[in-house]
Amino acid sequence: MTALARHLADRIAAQGPLSVAEYMGECLLHPRHGYYTTRDPLGARGDFTTAPEISQMFGELLGLCLAQAWADQGAPGRFALAELGPGRGTLMADALRAVRGVPGFLDAAELHLVEASPTLRAAQDSALEGHAPRWHDSVETLPDDMPLYLVANEFLDALPIRQFRRMPGGWAEIVVTVTEGALAFALAPPGPAPLPTLAAREADTREGEIVEIRPATEPIAAAIAARIAAHGGAAIFVDYGTWRGVGDTLQALRGHAPEPPLASPGAADLTSHVDFAPLAEAARAAGAAASGLTPQGVLLERLGITARARALAARLGGAKLDAHVAAHRRLTHPEEMGNLFKALALHPVQAPCPPGFDP
Ligand SMILES: C[S@@+](CC[C@H](N)C(=O)[O-])C[C@H]1O[C@@H](n2cnc3c(N)ncnc32)[C@H](O)[C@@H]1O
């Protein structure tokens, strides 16, 4: 049992079962034992890898996409360039390097990072040296008096979800309890949907199906969309997921291998697929426009990844060239990340959709 598993078992004994969201929140961000609070989980020696860690092309193209959206909106003279959950800072470092050729962009940008992990804040500090980033605990404190150009890759999937099973008597929440000395999933008694977003799923689900609700989605979407609607800007979200997903997608990864989500709390990454529908709906309700859901492979091809890959390949040979070709395929091929990962952009209603996105 991990130290966090013992702490959670004591808490359950004292206060009763935890929702999956409470369990996930403790596992990822417990101040002493949380997965993100205690380590840098990325890369070959960590538990998983992400698109920016696979190739510099990912951050470069998303940076240029935001720069084009900025130019399309009249190149405002002062704006917030923000990232949610920047990991090691790799995406932003690649983006900042790529946009150096866009006149005026970097001079007008203030860099803002939303990051919960002290370990990863330190990594971002060294990756983004010279760009004077300001850190935030939440999107609520991002500047609200200037345009906002924002990117978030694999941020939403790390936010806690609640899980509900549709039953004859309503919705039964899946909870975490202790059975025979070990953490175990159980079902709470069914009842009416406790959340409006869950009630809305009665139209497209059947008895027995599981629906996952990520309560932080709407406040985050609303805070960002309100800033974009008021002052201009754009936001790009990339994550694995779908539109109005159904089913249990909670997964744990440790050392690049899946394991049961209750096996080692605090020592494994815990994520679930992102449902982009509530994000788009909350953003529209707050006054911004949302693009269509665009597969990552399609987005990167439209942004010019093949031309960029060829230009980089011309300078490489041997094992480095093989790794580069494999990285291009991994990011874009439909059987790798190209289709599983999707992208959604927010923008002002009166401004064009950022390039590469289905409108
Ligand atoms: C899966 S990693 C993705 C890292 C990076 N975007 C990348 O693509 O390599 C998730 C990131 O979100 C951060 N994070 C997770 N939950 C958070 C929260 N509630 N608030 C702020 N940051 C959070 C993590 O510390 C980490 O930087």
Mean pLDDT of the region 11-39: 95
Pairwise CA distance, residues 83 & 86, whole Å: 6
Which residue puts its alpha carbon closest to atom 14 of ligand 1? 85
pLDDT of residue 269: 94
pLDDT of residue 55: 98
Residue 167: φ, ψ to 5°: -125, 170
Residue-wise pLDDT tens digits, 214-257:
999 999 999 999 999 999 999 999 999 999 999 999 999 998 89
pLDDT of residue 38: 86
Answer yes or no: is pLDDT of 48 > 90. no
Mean pLDDT of the region 306-310: 98
pLDDT of residue 46: 80
The response to whether residue 271 sits with its C-beta less than 6 Å from ligand 1 reads no
The response to whether residue 348 sits with its C-beta less than 6 Å from ligand 1 reads no
Helices (H), 73-165: 90-98, 105-108, 118-127
Which residue puts its alpha carbon closest to atom 12 of ligand 1? 85
The closest-lying atom of ligand 1 relative to the alpha carbon of residue 29 is 16
Percent of the chain with pLDDT over 90: 95
Considering only the C-alpha atoms of the chain, give the largest distance between any 2 of them, rounded to a whole number of Å.
64
Query: Candidates 29, 36, 62, 114: which one to mutate for ligand 1, based on the most atoms within 8 Å of Cβ?
Result: 36
Q: Is the Cβ–Cβ distance between 328 and 322 less than 8 Å?
A: no
Query: Candidates 48, 119, 155, 270: which one to mutate for ligand 1, based on the most atoms within 8 Å of Cβ?
Result: 155
Pick the closest to residue 283 from 244, 214, 234, 243 (CA basis). 234
β-pairing, 294-295 with 162-167?
unpaired
Could you tell me which residues come within 8 angstroms of residue 92 by beta carbon, excluding any fewer than 6 positions away? 59, 63, 83, 86, 111, 113, 124, 127, 128, 131, 151
Q: How far is the CA of 152 from the centre of ligand 1 (A)?
A: 9
Q: Is the Cβ–Cβ distance between 198 and 209 less than 8 Å?
A: no
pLDDT of residue 42: 87
Q: How far is the CA of 114 from the centre of ligand 1 (A)?
A: 8
SS3 category, 350? coil
Q: Is the Cβ–Cβ distance between 229 and 310 less than 8 Å?
A: no
Q: Is the Cβ–Cβ distance between 320 and 200 less than 8 Å?
A: no
CA atoms within 13 A on the CB side of 169: 7
Enter the pTM of the model: 0.97
Selected residue with higher pLDDT from 359 and 290: 290
pLDDT of residue 45: 77
Mean pLDDT of the region 49-55: 96
Cβ atoms within 10 Å of 13's Cβ, excluding its own: 10
Residue-wise pLDDT tens digits, 79-134:
999 999 999 999 999 999 999 999 999 999 999 999 999 999 999 999 999 999 99
Pick the closest to residue 150 from 345, 284, 288 (CA basis). 345
Q: What is the mean pLDDT of the chain?
A: 96
Q: How far is the CA of 154 from the centre of ligand 1 (A)?
A: 7
Selected residue with higher pLDDT from 39 and 34: 34
Answer yes or no: is pLDDT of 43 > 80. no
The closest-lying atom of ligand 1 relative to the alpha carbon of residue 157 is 1
The response to whether residue 85 sits with its C-beta less than 6 Å from ligand 1 reads yes
- Residue 42 gets which letter from DSSP? B
The response to whether residue 53 sits with its C-beta less than 6 Å from ligand 1 reads yes
**H or E element in which residue 40 lies:** none
Q: How far is the CA of 311 from the centre of ligand 1 (A)?
A: 31
Cβ atoms within 10 Å of 208's Cβ, excluding its own: 9
Q: Is the Cβ–Cβ distance between 105 and 168 less than 8 Å?
A: no
Query: Token pair of 352, please?
Result: 């064009």
Q: Is the Cβ–Cβ distance between 66 and 354 less than 8 Å?
A: yes
Residue 3: pLDDT band by 50, 70, 90 thresholds?
very high
SS3 category, 242? strand
Residue 39: φ, ψ to 5°: -160, 165
pLDDT of residue 190: 97
Query: Token pair of 44, please?
Result: 């070959």
Residue-wise pLDDT tens digits, 183-205:
999 999 999 999 999 999 999 99
pLDDT of residue 27: 97
The response to whether residue 36 sits with its C-beta less than 6 Å from ligand 1 reads yes
pLDDT of residue 345: 98
SS3 category, 70? helix
Helices (H), 43-142: 51-54, 56-72, 90-98, 105-108, 118-127
